[in-house]
Amino acid sequence: TACTTQTQTQIDRDPKQPGAMAGEKGLVLLDFWVSPFGQRVRIALAEKGLPYEYAEEDLMAGKSDRLLRANPVHKKIPVLLHDGRPVNESLIILQYLEDAFPDAPALLPSDPYARAQARFWADYVDKKVYDCGSRLWKLKGEPQAQARAEMLDILKTLDGALGDKPFFGGDKFGFVDAAFAPFTAWFHSYERYGEFSLPEVAPKIAAWAKRCGERESVAKSLYSPDKVYDFIGLLKKKYGIE
Amino acid sequence: RPHNLTINLYLTSSTATRAKMSAPAAVRVIGAFDSPFSHRAEVALRLKGVPYELILEELHNKSELLLTSNPVHKKVPVLLHGDRAVCESLIIVEYVDETFDGPRLLPSDPYDRAMARFWARFIDDKCSKPFWLAMWTDGEAQKGFMKEIKENFALLEAQLEGKRFFGGDTIGLVDIAACGFAHWLTVCEEVSGVTLVTAKEFPRLCRWAKEYASDEKVRACLPDRAQMLAHFTANKEMFMAMAKSMLPK
């Protein structure tokens, strides 16, 4: 398969006993190699230095019993199992890691207003980026042109929110950075389908993307933009899109 | 209601609890009369005993204050705390919980917090739209949305097992998130003629709705039911047209 795990902690998965090799913190991540939502969690775990077992769900083949048991409501990855108890939804998982491992490096600031702002922008990324990006490669003609206009607006808004800070978190890589960094591997595809140049549209975001890519947590969790582009091609075939 | 309260600010002072703000700052909520999202922001402040000024927006004619406080989404509610603007109702509730003393709105246990956030998001992401569409569409489409929202209500019903509130003994994040189903739901049912929730099918949800809506602090910031009924009746055609436009082509 096209999947190789690139996690910091390479532990062989024992399919008969999920969680048996979960490492000293009892963490198992159910994930899909190219999922930006799963990658957020991988990045957060790496930034926090938390060991875990990576368990690939082959979503192209369907959903396993293990996944359906762990996330019966949404049936989606990522799912973080902590001592067998599932936590679902990537941003909820990230906040769970903050709460459950208070001694590990924090991604959220301690000030309540700064936390609210971080949650706001992570929520903005969640609401806007993947959905709009999907419409870019799924649609044609006028609806695609609309998606393109929206994507440019989204990127410009995020560009403004980042401003002159090195990271959304300020001097430190933080919550919003972890939430948005996986999409840096999708920028190339958005540029190709949307016919625009990111450095022209959102130069600060382009520079930020490079900066993120230089971090070990991000570099080890993401796949190359070409691989993502190929994956989109696979999805289009699957959905019968020309 | 509507009311416009200008109140001198005081900190909830208690020698046993540490004050989370170093200096009192004016608290205002930019809201809208019958918005459940707006209610969420108000109820969080009331549960914490934080006085605030309510600024009511006419959503077809948004104020300069709203547009500058929430330039990204241009929506209510916005919490203004001194010179800070906090947007998105669930984010506001967490901000209020972290900033002000008073009863906890989120549990203290990390796993319970994750579960609370999960169900709050579930309500917004999975319940709002099918609920609205089940009310205001008809025919086959409406049947589909009814099925969907009832399935999701069944999950919420299960969450209430053995509990007075979603939050346990006291009102919490999930109760606040579910407020629409406590007060707005029966108004929608009355105006649309669609019965969604019966005590037979959803006994816990019905009991919860009464508990929530009758709480003293909640009641103080729920829109007047008669006024809502009149407002929704007047807008029924518009809601139906809006719902129709939301259907997949």
Mean pLDDT, chain B, integer: 91
Mutate to test the interface with B, among A76, A90, A92, A176 (most CBs of B within 10 A): A92
Q: Is the pLDDT of residue B125 over 80?
A: yes
Enclosing H/E stretch for B215 = none
Asked whether the domain spanning B110-246 has the same topology as the one spanning B27-99, the reply is no
CATH architecture of the domain covering B110-246 = Up-down Bundle (1.20)
User: Is residue A21 pLDDT above 80, yes or no?
Assistant: no
pLDDT per position as a tens digit, A117-148: 999 999 999 999 999 999 999 999 999 999 99
Per-residue pLDDT band at B15 (split at 50, 70, 90)? very low
Residues of chain B in contact with residue A87, where contact means CB-CB under 8 angstroms, are 111, 114, 118
Q: What is the dihedral of CA B69, B73, B78, B82, to 10 degrees?
A: -30
Q: Please report the domains of chain A, with CATH numbers, ordered by start residue.
A: 27-100 (3.40.30.10), 112-239 (1.20.1050.10)
Task: State pLDDT tens for residues A22-79.
Answer: 667 799 999 999 999 999 999 999 999 999 999 999 998 889 999 999 999 999 999 9
| Mean pLDDT, rounded, for A210-220 | 98
Q: Where are the domains of chain B?
A: 27-99, 110-246
Is the confidence at residue B6, as pLDDT, over 70?
no
Q: So what's the pLDDT on residue B23?
A: 52
* CATH 3.90.1170.40 for the B27-99 domain, yes or no: no
List B165's β-bridge partners, or say none: B168
For chain A, give the percent of residues with pLDDT over 90: 86
pTM of the model: 0.90
Q: What angle do CA A234, A238, A140 make, to 5 degrees?
A: 85
Nearest in space to B92 (alpha carbons), one of B141, B43, B58: B43
Type of residue found at A235: L
Q: Is the pLDDT of residue A111 over 90?
A: yes
How far is Cα A184 from Cα B238, in angstroms, rounded to an integer? Answer: 41
The chain-wide mean pLDDT, for chain A, equals 91
pLDDT score recorded for residue A23: 64
Nearest to B94 among A92, A119, A157 (CB): A119
Q: For residue range B191-238, what is the model confidence (pLDDT) as tens digits?
A: 999 999 999 999 999 999 999 999 999 999 999 999 999 999 999 999
Q: Which of A85, A89, A116 sits opposite B111 (nearest CB)?
A: A85
pLDDT attached to residue A25:
79
Considering only alpha carbons, which residue of chain B is nearest residue A118?
A: B91
